[in-house]
């Protein structure tokens, strides 16, 4: 008798991260680990002022310093038509300033030297004569009539508006507001913060003077897209440009834009004929690279007296800094802010968004989120809580009453998204059960009687990730699909090459698990390669939780292609028709005679040694996957906080996070992603802030001023899950990398506000330090 064969399951399994062997043993290979023979070092001179005309730059003393090889200025770059470059959203940004500086920290000149310390010392010898100009710090000032025009380098630019965009149906929304019993409004600001990855940006540019080929080792989340930008900027053919993005010490969106340092180092290597390394220092990273958020949002929710939501109006004004530089899917200029109706069945919505230039570093980078989802999610979750207070109902009940119901999926939102799947009440129920919501409410009432403040905050968010269907999403015209190329070697070991680029998310493990799930080859036999434009298929990179929805899907699809060929090979070996075979997870069995079988490894061997006449040899393929839709992960987060009436200090008592990202490939990695995201969400709610004084000086240029949480400040998180598969993803997975950063800030803020809400407090602006809480306690008469 034949024993039934059961292949190992590879989805839903917490396989240990393959990449950790090298990371834990200090064997990672980061850009700063790259050292090439004859390499030079580059340092960047940055503007000390936020807005000024440049009268002159004198580089003679710097050039005379022994060890200095060259000083590069904007004027030199202009001779090669490289002083300005395109941004990923179709704007332009200075590589090195020529006419003016438009932000503090702007790149003005670069020194290339034999030694990094000499390069740095030489910066002090460069004399720049600045003529200060009036500084514009907020988007409100920027849009006032008569404000100085920041981008006067553009011939026809008369004001500081970057974009104006509207979404939804204005008339239908107006009608909903006319019919409503109640209108609740809410006004908030999501402050500027910074992704602050552990590794700053940098590159080693190596132009081969003989072949002309440029190899750039670069901290890039999107190597292929960056190669195309380099080709467009330099006019060099793409086959002469190789971008290698080795191990990255975090990205979080910070490594999506193209930065001047990359371009100058490459130009310098081209002109000098030697490799040039540029590694940004921490302050350079914090003051000049892609910032996030800086959104002013206000809006109104129309409701009936029974709490049914009828309509939503939202206005958003964003501070883009002096250049609109973040990647932006061009069909949705307000990005995915359209998700602002959240998890609720709101029949009508109208969204108006504006962006404005200011004298700040280019802002708007999607820091661990999908193009403005974080701000939209924060806004609706804060507004719903405010509405609950105004209506005198439990915020949880108001949410329940308005959730999109499971049977409504696929659900078309008022702003035009088609949500793929969801079960919001199930996730909420689970979170409340884990938190012990009813008991906690009783405890809250008791605490108030005893003069203590306890707050409970909930957020039930919906995200939209996985750009995208290429018909709707592109960056600089590059359609947003992604790719996977799989080759199974004769011995049944495999190499998978993908178009996305890990920055610590564990792709080398999870993508191998996807192949293992489809073909039965164990993950330990699969090498996952990424981050090298010469050796991986074209892809749009990793950000916005898009890797699993796009390249993950491509990986499943290419594996299935190979399985189809393996079936034919197995049929040939077993001398049966392919239709007579059934797949058993890692082998083909003859239907009705399962002991006659061919393993995937045997089929792979046959592909090179015994393939049928007329069949191409080899077992390999490539898939470019254009997803039919985005994926819509969601979750319910619940937080309990205690607020000290004597100091305004608040402390997280409990934090429960229930996430639904469809099928989980590797639960341990998913939980790691969620914990990291919750930490960053907590940080935004509690402490992270980049701000500017009236002269445009950046306050937050180092880790003493820009506070990121250590394990000491980070609360304990309790995780739960529900699983609602994506109906269109080949393995039912949705993205998850950013869910927690998106969903959690509102939960933390809702909790702190809730502690004070009975005294009429409705808003506390992030980051909520004890000073702000203390002020609110005093004003509400709650201070002790």
Residues that are catalytic: 221, 368-369, 738
Q: Which is nearer to ligand CDP, 46 or 255 (CB)?
A: 255
Instruction: Report the interface residues with ligand CDP, using CB under 6 A.
Output: 505-507, 510, 542, 545-548, 552, 661-666, 669-670, 673, 733-737
Contacts of 685 (CB under 8 A, 6+ apart): 744, 745, 748, 749, 752, 766, 767, 768
Q: Which is nearer to ligand CDP, 415 or 673 (CB)?
A: 673
Query: Cβ of residue 495: shortest distance to ligand CDP, in angstroms?
Result: 18
Q: How far is CA 527 from the centre of its chain?
A: 25
Three-state DSSP at 247 gives: strand
Q: Return the number of other C-beta atoms located less than 10 Å from residue 522's C-beta.
A: 17
Query: Cβ of residue 177: shortest distance to ligand CDP, in angstroms?
Result: 37
By C-alpha distance, which of 376, 389, 337 is closest to 461?
Answer: 376
Query: Cβ of residue 510: shortest distance to ligand CDP, in angstroms?
Result: 3
| 225 touches 475 (CB < 8 A) | yes
Q: Which is nearer to ligand CDP, 253 or 696 (CB)?
A: 253
**Torsion angle, CA of 508/616/537/470, rounded to 10 degrees?**
-110
Q: Which is nearer to ligand CDP, 22 or 282 (CB)?
A: 22
Query: Cβ of residue 381: shortest distance to ligand CDP, in angstroms?
Result: 21
Distance between CA atoms of residues 562 and 55, nearest Å: 63
By C-alpha distance, which of 433, 425, 439 is closest to 397?
Answer: 425
Compute CA distances 570 → 15, 561, 581, 612, 729, whole Å: 29, 14, 8, 10, 28
Query: Cβ of residue 417: shortest distance to ligand CDP, in angstroms?
Result: 18
Q: Which is nearer to ligand CDP, 47 or 219 (CB)?
A: 219
Distance between CA atoms of residues 192 and 353, nearest Å: 17
Q: Which is nearer to ligand CDP, 604 or 661 (CB)?
A: 661
Q: Which is nearer to ligand CDP, 655 or 674 (CB)?
A: 674
Q: Is 607 exposed, middle or buried, given 0-12, 13-18 or 19+ CB atoms closer than 10 A?
A: buried
Query: Cβ of residue 681: shortest distance to ligand CDP, in angstroms?
Result: 15
Helix H or strand E segment including 29: none
Instruction: Please list, residue by residue across 500-517, b when 16 or more beta carbons sit within 10 angstroms of its beta carbon and e when fewer do.
Output: bbbbbbbbbbbbbbbbbb
Q: Return the number of other C-beta atoms located less than 10 Å from residue 425's C-beta.
A: 17
Query: Cβ of residue 434: shortest distance to ligand CDP, in angstroms?
Result: 20
* DSSP-derived secondary structure for 645-659: TTT--EEEEEEEEEE
| 765 touches 188 (CB < 8 A) | yes
Q: Which is nearer to ligand CDP, 355 or 732 (CB)?
A: 732
Q: What are phi and psi for residue 28, nearest 5 degrees?
A: -65, 165
By C-alpha distance, which of 444, 355, 296, 365 is closest to 766?
Answer: 296
Please give, one letter per residue, the 3-state secondary structure of 117-160. Answer: HHHHHHHCCCEEEEEECCCCCCHHHHHCCCCCCCCCCCCCCCCC
Q: Which is nearer to ligand CDP, 274 or 734 (CB)?
A: 734
| 582 touches 589 (CB < 8 A) | yes
Q: Return the number of other C-beta atoms located less than 10 Å from residue 628's C-beta.
A: 13
Distance between CA atoms of residues 497 and 508, nearest Å: 10
Q: Which is nearer to ligand CDP, 566 or 665 (CB)?
A: 665
Query: Cβ of residue 247: shortest distance to ligand CDP, in angstroms?
Result: 15
Query: Cβ of residue 126: shortest distance to ligand CDP, in angstroms?
Result: 39
Its sign, for the CA torsion 252, 258, 264, 269, is positive
Query: Cβ of residue 666: shortest distance to ligand CDP, in angstroms?
Result: 4
């Amino acid at each position: 008798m034949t024993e039934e064969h059961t292949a190992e399951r590879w989805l839903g399994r917490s396989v240990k991260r393959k990449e950790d062997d090298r990371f834990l043993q200090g064997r990672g290979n980061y850009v700063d680990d790259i050292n090439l023979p004859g390499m030079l070092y580059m340092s960047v001179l940055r503007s000390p002022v936020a807005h000024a005309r440049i009268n002159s730059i004198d580089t003679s003393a710097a050039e005379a310093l022994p060890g200095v090889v060259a000083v590069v200025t904007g004027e030199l770059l202009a001779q090669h038509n490289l002083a300005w470059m395109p941004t990923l959203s179709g704007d332009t940004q200075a590589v090195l300033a020529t006419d003016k500086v438009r932000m503090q920290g702007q790149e003005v000149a670069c020194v290339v030297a034999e030694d990094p310390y000499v390069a740095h010392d030489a910066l002090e010898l460069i004399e720049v004569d600045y003529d200060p100009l009036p500084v514009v710090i907020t988007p409100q000032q920027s849009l006032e009539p008569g404000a100085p025009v920041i981008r006067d380098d553009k011939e026809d630019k008369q004001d500081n508006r970057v974009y104006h965009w509207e979404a939804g149906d204005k008339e239908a929304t107006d009608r909903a507001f006319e019919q409503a019993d109640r209108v609740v409004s809410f006004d908030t600001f999501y402050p500027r913060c910074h992704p602050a990855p552990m590794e700053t940006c940098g590159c080693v540019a190596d132009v081969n003077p003989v072949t002309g080929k440029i190899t750039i080792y670069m901290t890039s989340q999107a190597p292929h897209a960056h190669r195309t930008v380099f080709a467009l900027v330099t006019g060099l053919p793409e086959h002469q440009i190789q971008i290698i993005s080795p191990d990255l010490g975090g990205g979080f969106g910070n490594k999506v834009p193209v930065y001047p340092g990359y371009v100058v180092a490459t130009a310098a290597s081209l002109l000098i004929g030697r490799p040039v390394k540029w590694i940004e220092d921490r302050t350079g990273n914090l003051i000049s690279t892609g910032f996030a958020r800086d959104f002013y949002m206000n809006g109104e929710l129309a409701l009936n007296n029974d709490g049914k939501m009828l309509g939503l109006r939202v206005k958003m004004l964003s501070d883009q800094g002096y250049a609109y530089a973040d990647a932006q899917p061009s069909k949705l200029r307000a990005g995915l802010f359209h998700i602002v109706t959240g998890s609720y069945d709101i029949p009508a919505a109208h969204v108006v968004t504006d962006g404005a230039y200011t004298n700040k570093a280019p802002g708007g980078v999607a820091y661990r989120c999908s193009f403005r989802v974080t701000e939209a999610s924060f806004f609706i979750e804060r507004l719903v809580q405010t509405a609950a207070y105004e209506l005198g109902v439990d915020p949880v009940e108001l949410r329940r009453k308005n959730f999109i119901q499971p049977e409504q999926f696929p659900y078309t939102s008022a702003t035009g998204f088609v949500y793929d799947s969801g079960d919001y009440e199930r996730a909420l129920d689970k979170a409340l059960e884990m938190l012990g919501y009813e008991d906690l409410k009783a405890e809250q009432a008791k605490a108030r009687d005893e003069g203590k403040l306890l707050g409970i905050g909930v957020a039930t968010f919906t995200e939209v990730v996985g750009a995208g269907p290429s018909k709707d999403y592109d960056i600089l015209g590059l359609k947003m699909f992604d790719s996977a190329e799989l080759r199974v070697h004769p011995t049944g070991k495999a190499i998978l090459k993908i178009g996305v680029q890990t920055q610590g998310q564990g792709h080398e493990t999870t993508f191998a698990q996807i192949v293992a799930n489809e073909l039965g080859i164990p993950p330990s036999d699969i090498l996952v390669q990424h981050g090298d434009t010469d050796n991986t298929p074209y892809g749009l990179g990793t950000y916005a939780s898009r890797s699993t929805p796009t390249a993950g899907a491509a990986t499943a699809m290419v594996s299935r292609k190979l399985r189809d060929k393996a079936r034919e090979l197995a049929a040939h070996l077993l001398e049966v028709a392919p239709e007579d075979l059934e797949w058993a997870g890692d082998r083909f069995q003859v239907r009705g005679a399962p002991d006659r079988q061919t393993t995937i490894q045997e089929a792979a061997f046959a592909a090179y040694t015994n393939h049928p006449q007329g069949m191409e040899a080899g077992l390999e393929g490539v898939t470019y996957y254009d997803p039919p839709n985005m994926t819509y992960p969601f979750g319910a987060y619940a937080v309990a906080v205690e607020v000290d009436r004597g100091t305004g200090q608040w402390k997280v008592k409990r934090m429960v996070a229930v996430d639904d990202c469809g099928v989980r490939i590797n639960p341990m990695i998913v939980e790691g992603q969620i914990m990291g995201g919750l930490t960053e969400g907590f940080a935004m709610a509690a402490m992270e802030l980049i701000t500017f004084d009236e002269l445009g000086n950046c306050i937050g240029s180092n880790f003493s001023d820009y506070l990121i949480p250590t394990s000491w400040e980070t609360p304990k998180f309790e995780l739960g899950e529900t699983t609602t598969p994506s109906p269109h993803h080949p393995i039912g997975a949705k993205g998850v990398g950013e869910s927690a950063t998106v969903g959690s800030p509102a939960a933390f803020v809702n909790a702190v506000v809730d502690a004070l809400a009975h005294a009429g407090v409705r808003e506390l602006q992030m980051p909520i330090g004890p000073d702000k809480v203390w002020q609110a306690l005093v004003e509400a008469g709650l201070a002790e």
